[in-house]
Amino acid sequence: MNLTLKIWRQANAQTKGKLVTYQISDISPDMSFLEMLDVLNQQIILKGEDPVAFDNDCREGICGMCSLYINGRAHGAQSEATVCLLHMRSFKDGDTITIEPWRAKAFPVIKDLVVDRSAFDRIIQAGGFVSAKTGAPQDANALPVAKRNADLSMDAAACIGCGACVASCKNASAMLFTSAKISQLALLPQGQAERDRRALAMVKTMDDAGFGNCTNEGECEAECPKAIKMTNIARLFREYYRASIVSEEM
Amino acid sequence: MTWLWNFISSSIGKKLLMALSGLFFCSFLLVHMAGNMTIFIGPETFNAYTAIMSSASINKVLEVVMVLLFLVHIYTSATLTIENRAARPEKYAMDVSAGKRTFMSSNMFITGSIILIFVIVHLIGFKYGDWSAEPGATNTMYALLAETYASIFWTAVYVIAVIVLGFHLNHAFQSAFQTLGLNHKKYTPFIKKLGTLYSIVIALGFASFPVFFFVQQLSAGG
């Protein structure tokens, strides 16, 4: 396959970036998208230039590191998959592919296609945990959990924190991410003790990070590689209302 | 009261203000439209209706509540829109919808701004227009409506405005329930359908009044 790539190049957070066009040939349709970028970088390095920086790690769709906006879509047009699971057979010979970083004030570009997603870490640090001394392993059924809650919690916990929800939201809102991290704990008995404090602190941190507001459009849900549902955002609202209005939390 | 300020100034609190004020307007529109339906019964009934509406003291209270909620809705939407624009300082060179984005969902601020201008024009033209509900007056609200909608310009303005309103409501209605935290497979599909039906009924219902007068004077003139 022969392709034209338009890739966002930006030296660092301070400088302005621009789309740079590259031609690449003899790409196998069996390559993954990231392998194609590896081939491109090899060519760039051989020319003595600076290779394209992009985030990636596990390359099997579970770590959430890869984060490319491909032809106007987070992780490309393929549904329920990260960039590393996107293959070149999804494109046609002669295609032009535009590759941009996630765009959000809360996710500043570090270099080229790499953005700083530590705002997500700060949201987790604010309350996305259970502080309990776990002690020795418990008997498996010591804490009864309704099957439907276990399923819903597991579905929410599938979030890999890649940021596709923020990237695809027209408002760069982080509500799908935050709602997944709140839901996974709110649905389980272990999450109850810190439930209200968690909702207040995580929403406050999310707001302070400079993310936009949710306008209930649903692009996040459609782009999420782990199919996190907007019902989690409704649960986030309920948790927040409860914490603000009903709970003893100040 | 710090908690209250923290709550309503948070992203979720502001959304709740939008949803609650918006749902109030949704119910107001139904009442307003139902009342206007007396136009089809005849001038006497409609003028009697306007006399009751303009004299009932409960309406004075409701007017104040509505103006306040309108200001809340406008102020909050402006704040949210400014924050949302600021949250993405650099736009994508290429941005394609994953399928959930609609004309309605992506243009709420624009349709809302058009509705705001329309509401001001509407209030100046009718509520504060040259009409009287006194017995025996000739400049009744019905006469004012007939005179206004004899013009194709005003008929078109009103029809277009209520269509824009319909687009706004289509996203707004179901969105408000999501914001209230009400999203469940038991009823969300029903709420979405109800929202579409509601927005169509409101748009068609309100469009029927100017069209009725316009067609009436056309046939009277012809």
What's A67's domain CATH number?
3.10.20.30
Q: Which of A110, A126, A153 is the last residue of a domain?
A: A110
Query: What is the distance between the alpha carbons of residues B45 and B47, in angstroms, rounded to a whole number?
Result: 6
Best to test chain B binding among A170, A198, A206, A223 (most B CBs inside 10 Å): A170
Contact status, residue A45 vs residue A53, Cβ threshold 8 Å: no
User: What angle do the packed helices A195-208 and B11-36 form, to 10 degrees?
Assistant: 90
A175 interaction partners in chain B (CB closer than 8 Å): 11
Residues 6+ apart with CB under 8 A from A13: A108, A109, A110, A116
CB atoms within 10 A of CB B162: 23
Q: How many domains does chain B have?
A: 1
Helices (H), chain A: 33-46, 118-125, 147-157, 164-168, 175-186, 195-208, 219-223, 231-241
A85 and A32 in contact (C-beta within 8 Å)?
yes
**Cβ contact, residue pair B91, A213, below 8 Å:** no
ipTM here: 0.92
Which DSSP symbol is given to A164?
H
User: Could you list the residue range(s) of the whole structural domain that residue B162 is in?
Assistant: 12-86+106-221
Measured between beta carbons, the chain B residues lying within 8 angstroms of A213 are: 11, 14-15, 80, 83-84
CATH number, domain containing residue B217: 1.20.1300.10
Q: B42's torsion region: left (phi>0), alpha (psi -120 to 50) or beta? A: left
Which residues are within 8 A (CB) of B151 and not within 5 positions of it... i.e. 6 or more apart? Answer: none
Q: Residue B101: inside a domain, yes or no?
A: no
Averaged pLDDT for residues B131-148 = 90
Nearest to A219 among B11, B90, B97 (CB): B97
Q: Are residues A106 and A49 in the same domain?
A: yes
Which residue does chain A place closest to B89, by CA atoms? Answer: A105
Kindly list the residues from chain A whose CB atom is less than 8 angstroms away from the CB atom of residue B183.
230-231, 233-234
Distances (CA, A) of A241 to A120, A122, A230, B8, B94: 22, 22, 17, 10, 37
Whether residue A137 sits in one domain with residue A51: no
The CATH number that applies at residue A203 is 1.10.1060.10
Instruction: For Cα atoms A4, A6, A12, give the angle at the middle one, nearest 5 degrees.
Output: 145
Confidence class for position B201, pLDDT limits 50, 70, 90: very high
Q: Which amino acid is at B138?
A: T
B222 pLDDT tier (thresholds 50, 70, 90): low
Of the three residues A110, A131, A157, the one that is the final residue of a domain is A110
| Domain coverage including residue A25 | 3-110
Q: Contact B59/B53 with Cβ under 8 angstroms?
A: yes
Same domain, A95 and A123: no
Residues A147 and A75 in one domain: no
CA distance B177 to B163: 22
> Crossing angle, helix B43-55 and helix B141-148, to 10 degrees?
110
Given A110, A130, A148, the domain boundary residue is A110
* In a domain? residue B158: yes
For residue B201, tell me if it sits in a domain.
Answer: yes
What is the 3-state secondary structure of chain B? CHHHHHHHHCHHHHHHHHHHHHHHHHHHHHHHHHHHHHHHCCHHHHHHHHHHHHHCHHHHHHHHHHHHHHHHHHHHHHHHHHHHHHCCCCCCCCCCCCCCCCHHHHCHHHHHHHHHHHHHHHHHHHHCCCCCCCCCCCCCHHHHHHHHCCCHHHHHHHHHHHHHHHHHHHHHHHHHHHHCCCCCCCCHHHHHHHHHHHHHHHHHHHHHHHHHHHHHHHHHHC
Please give the tally of structural domains in chain A.
Answer: 2
B196: confidence class by pLDDT, cuts 50, 70, 90:
very high
Torsion, Cα B141 B143 B146 B151, to 10 degrees, reads: -100
**What is the largest distance, in Å, between two alpha-carbon atoms of chain B?**
66
In a domain, B74, yes or no: yes
Q: Round to whole Å and give the CA distance between A99 and A113.
A: 8
Please list the pLDDT of chain A residue by residue as tens digits (250 residues): 999 999 999 999 999 999 999 999 999 999 999 999 999 999 999 999 999 999 999 999 999 999 999 999 999 999 999 999 999 999 999 999 999 999 999 999 999 999 999 999 999 999 999 998 778 888 888 889 999 999 999 999 999 999 999 999 999 999 999 999 999 999 999 999 999 999 999 999 999 999 999 999 999 999 999 999 999 999 999 999 999 998 887 7
